[in-house]
Amino acid sequence: MQLSRESTDSNLIHAWEAGRMLIGTQWLTGHVIVAPDSIVPDWTVGEAAPIALEDLAPAIDLDPEIILLGTGAETAVPDIGLIASLAKLGIGLEIMSTPAACRTFNVLASEHRRVVAALLNPAAPG
């Protein structure tokens, strides 16, 4: 699925497929954290439901105002305490499917917002 055609100095997610995504000119596989000015490839995390504050430490270190948590092809809601923990740090959390998080990231990054996308992206089954 192609997501963006824009040209910018920010990292944009140009395409998403189960198991990989095109960020800028680079195909990355697996789970990724992306900010407008940096990429954390090979994010080590399990499924969405048990995600804890510690799992999001690489995203928090990028000093976002909002984290977009992409939970894979479908939306999965992690522990509600995670939202409260991030709010105490002054960080908003939006939870959605990974394709929706990719599209939302591109919009917010193009608006020069301090956004970070933490994207679960398992390979397609089979």
Rounded to whole angstroms, the Cα distance separating 69 from 101 reads 7
- One-letter amino acid for residue 105 of the chain: F
Residue 8 lies in a domain: no
- Containing 87, the helix (H) or strand (E) segment is helix 80-88
Domain containing residue 115: 13-119
Residue 111 lies in a domain: yes
Mean pLDDT value across residues 37-65: 89
Say whether 97 sits in a helix, a strand or coil.
coil
pLDDT for 74-119, tens place per residue? 888 777 899 999 999 999 999 999 999 999 999 999 999 999 999 9
**Paired residues of 47 in beta bridges:** none
Say whether 70 sits in a helix, a strand or coil.
strand
- Looking at residue 55, its pLDDT comes to 93
Residue 125 lies in a domain: no
Residue 48 lies in a domain: yes
Q: Which two tokens stand for residue 107?
A: 């919009």
21, 22, 39: which is closest to 30 by C-alpha?
21
Does the structure show a pLDDT above 60 at 7? no
Residue 64 lies in a domain: yes
Q: What is the CATH number of the domain that holds 31?
A: 3.40.1230.10
Residue 41 lies in a domain: yes
Residue 6 lies in a domain: no
Residue 2 lies in a domain: no
**How many domains does the structure of the chain reveal?**
1
Q: Which two tokens stand for residue 110?
A: 């193009």
